[in-house]
Amino acid sequence: MEEEQINNILNKLEGSSVVASAVNTTNDFNSNDRFFFCDAKTQSELNELIGENKPKLVVLVGFAGYGKSTFVGSLYQQLISNHSYNNYCFVDSDTYVGFERRVFLRRINNSNVSDTKRNVLGENDVLNIKLRSNKGEMQHVIISDKAGETYSRYISSDNDVSNDMVINNADIILFFIDAELLCGSLANYNLISEKYKNILKRFIALGKLKETASYILVFTKIDKLNGEDYKMKLTTRRDNLSIVFKDIIGSGPDDIYEVNSKKIEDVRLNELFCKVLDPNRSSIYSREIDWVKNDIETLI
Amino acid sequence: MGNDDLMCAINAHLFIPLDGKIIERLQNNVMQLLLEADINMVEDCTYSFFMNVVSPDFRNSFDMNYQKLYKDSLFLPDIVYVILEIFFVRKCIEADDISANVRRKYSCVVRNFAVLLKGRWSNLKCSDWVIGMYKYSNVDIDKSKHTGTPSQSFLNSILPYDNWDDTGLDISNINIFRQIHDLCIVATKNHFNNFINSFAFSKYSSPFVRVYMLFCKMMNNYDWKYLSIEPPKIIISTMGKASTEKKKFRRIVDIIRNELNSDDLYKPTMKSSVLLRKIFSNYHCGIEECMFSVLEFGIYLYYELLLESYND
């Protein structure tokens, strides 16, 4: 369908600027690929995903091939298979196509076919999940899964980092590290370390890390590490990298996970899913809001 | 309250903040809606805010007015409308051109609907605003102002006449008015204390029923709102240790409805009389499983009855 035809239909249906913006084609790839209903959203559409409560925002950070999309694909696969986390089950998403694309990528990776189809730079990164507990409580989680090349750009561009609207809103940030690469040559380890140092310093300098956000280090592809040597190397290099994060951010990670994202039965992977989908948020409220209790305490 | 206040409140709940120009428009739009404000709108918006939903009436009025003012439509997430609802209520309460009585009523609406969040206070947005609105319920009726003729019941509390003209007193004279007013207050206080001391508490087995009947009867019989009453003190002095007894609200309602005749049940007119409405008509209010002590129950009841009396 031509863009003009789409615009004509939309103009007849509704005049709102938001709907009109759905055909805004400033992305890097073909606009016909872009316009699917239920596709992943752009960060400029984040506010549209807010209902009566602000959803939890989980941001996946990691360079190309570090396993972010595989992680998302596995999470989605578990959810649509009626797996519950924290007594919450999946009920809906506005971004099914975005998830399905990532599941496809996961399958491609599983088959050991050359990894030619990853998240393309410029492809929409915002996905959402709606869950419901067995008591009927709803939970809404948004996941940002950007292409790894985006973060490579961030290493050398303040402008790109400044324009990122998800990092500074994140409730949880998952920093992905390819464990296989990490435990390879020393050069590889140093490269990963330097890339993360660079990007973290840029985040801090531009005020992008919210004080209340928690961050987690996720070491992926641990199934590729065979033998005690590799496992020891992982422990050492993992700990060193944690110190790098701690030194720059000012506090250590909330948790560290070593996972095989392709294996949906992976225990630690599922624990990480639980963590990401944990509905409990710290809640502080002023005692004066309960005015009756306040009246009683004043009297006493 | 400037744009900054509204901007902080709204943008704290968005991923992408709205810019100052949009916030200014939203604020101006709300100010326009104030011209149509009445107790029904305040109740509607306050209820919707506490329930974390958007009132269809508010949304329609807001959108239509915005379209009229700015010849433009705006997509806003529901969360923004919820915040605008309470912003509207706050503006209503803080308006310069309303009477103290109206301000008190609006404040009572907010206090009374707050019971809907009992036990779930952390869910409340803009809690500072809500807390700031509570204080207007407690403003004493200004006894010093020479405003209008004291009520019939005040007259009857001191003199055996049906109207002020028959007394021969010149109540247009401010000094005489004040003296009579003070005399009426003293007389009312005496009547009130006699009422409390002689109230047939033993007639009712449950302390929840006793406190319900006490405040309902107070409401019907006396100009007690002119006195500086502290409901917790009255409840503790009359109920004693029983004031700490706790039950789930649905159980309290069952007890009251079983023990009293339907004629004894107070028929509320205000939507914000959550407890009174539940007791009268047993509708679903969402707080059936909340625990109330006699003291808490009595205080909530007092303020609901207070608003009902303001609305008579």
Q: CA distances (Å), A135 to each of B27, B32, B275, in order?
A: 38, 41, 25
A38 touches B at CB < 8 Å: no
pLDDT given at position A119: 56
Tell whether the model's pLDDT for residue A31 goes beyond 70. Answer: no
Residue type, B131: I
Contact B54 A16 (CB under 8 A): no
- Using pLDDT thresholds of 50, 70 and 90, give the confidence band for residue A298: confident
More confident residue, B184 or A235: A235
Tell whether the model's pLDDT for residue A14 goes beyond 70. Answer: no
Region B139-161: mean pLDDT is 56
More confident residue, B3 or A116: B3
pTM score, two decimals? 0.81
Distance from the Cα of B97 to chain A's closest Cα (Å) equals: 27
- Using pLDDT thresholds of 50, 70 and 90, give the confidence band for residue B37: very high
pLDDT given at position A30: 45
Least confident segment among A103-112, A251-260, B47-56:
A103-112
- Using pLDDT thresholds of 50, 70 and 90, give the confidence band for residue A17: very low
What proportion of chain B, given as a percentage, has pLDDT over 70? 88
- Across A111-115, A150-154, B217-221, the highest mean pLDDT is recorded for A150-154
B197 touches A at CB < 8 Å: no
Contact B77 A48 (CB under 8 A): yes
pLDDT given at position A23: 38
pLDDT given at position B155: 64
B13 touches A at CB < 8 Å: yes
* Total Cβ atoms within 10 A of residue A160: 15
- Of A205, A191, A171, A207, the closest CA to residue A244 belongs to A191
More confident residue, B18 or B150: B18
More confident residue, A35 or A30: A35
Region A102-129: mean pLDDT is 69
Nearest residue, CB atoms, A50 vs list B77, B127, B236: B77
Tell whether the model's pLDDT for residue B203 goes beyond 70. Answer: yes
Q: How many CA atoms lie within 13 A of A73 on its CB side?
A: 21
* Interface list for B 49-68 with A (CB within 8 A): 52-54
Give me the long-range contacts of B2-9 (CB less than 8 A, separation at least 24). B3/B27, B6/B83, B6/B87, B9/B83, B9/B87, B9/B125, B9/B126, B9/B129
Contact A291 B111 (CB under 8 A): yes
B256-295, pLDDT tens digit by residue?
999 999 999 999 999 999 999 999 998 889 999 999 999 9
pLDDT given at position B143: 42
Tell whether the model's pLDDT for residue B113 goes beyond 70. Answer: yes
Tell whether the model's pLDDT for residue A12 goes beyond 70. Answer: no
- Across A131-135, A209-213, A281-285, the highest mean pLDDT is recorded for A131-135
| Interface probe with B: pick from A288, A289, A300, most Cβ of B within 10 Å | A289
What proportion of chain A, given as a percentage, has pLDDT over 90? 58
pLDDT given at position A145: 94
A228 touches B at CB < 8 Å: no
Cα–Cα distance, B138 to A296 (Å, whole number):
15
CA B271 to chain centre: 10
Contact B299 A295 (CB under 8 A): yes
More confident residue, B177 or A25: B177
Report the chain B residue with the minimal C-alpha distance to residue A287. B121
A53 touches B at CB < 8 Å: yes
More confident residue, B3 or B36: B36
pLDDT given at position B312: 61
Residue B185 in tokens: 């207050």
A54 touches B at CB < 8 Å: yes
Q: Mean pLDDT in chain A? A: 84
- Of B80, B76, B41, the closest CA to residue B61 belongs to B41
Asked if residue A166 lies in contact with residue A144, where contact means CB atoms within 8 angstroms, the answer is: yes
pLDDT given at position B77: 94
Q: Mean pLDDT in chain B? A: 86
A207 touches B at CB < 8 Å: no
Tell whether the model's pLDDT for residue A195 goes beyond 70. Answer: yes
Least confident segment among A83-87, A274-278, B198-202:
B198-202
- Using pLDDT thresholds of 50, 70 and 90, give the confidence band for residue A21: very low
Contact A165 B15 (CB under 8 A): yes
A68-111, pLDDT tens digit by residue?
999 999 999 999 998 999 999 999 999 999 999 888 876 776 55
Q: DSSP of B198-221, one letter per residue?
A: H--GGG-SSHHHHHHHHHHHHHHH
B230-260, pLDDT tens digit by residue?
888 888 888 888 889 999 999 999 999 999 9
| Residues of chain B found within 8 Å of residue A295, distances taken between Cβ atoms | 231-232, 299
pLDDT given at position A4: 56
| Residues of chain A found within 8 Å of residue B77, distances taken between Cβ atoms | 47-48, 50-51
Tell whether the model's pLDDT for residue A165 goes beyond 50. Answer: yes
- Using pLDDT thresholds of 50, 70 and 90, give the confidence band for residue B118: very high
B291 touches A at CB < 8 Å: no
Contact A295 B232 (CB under 8 A): yes
pLDDT given at position A112: 55
| Residues of chain A found within 8 Å of residue B295, distances taken between Cβ atoms | 296
Contact B15 A18 (CB under 8 A): no
Binning chain A into helix, strand and coil, the percentages to the nearest 5 are: 45, 15, 35
A45-65, pLDDT tens digit by residue?
999 999 888 999 999 999 998
Report the chain B residue with the minimal C-alpha distance to residue A44. B16
- Using pLDDT thresholds of 50, 70 and 90, give the confidence band for residue B187: confident
Region A6-14: mean pLDDT is 52
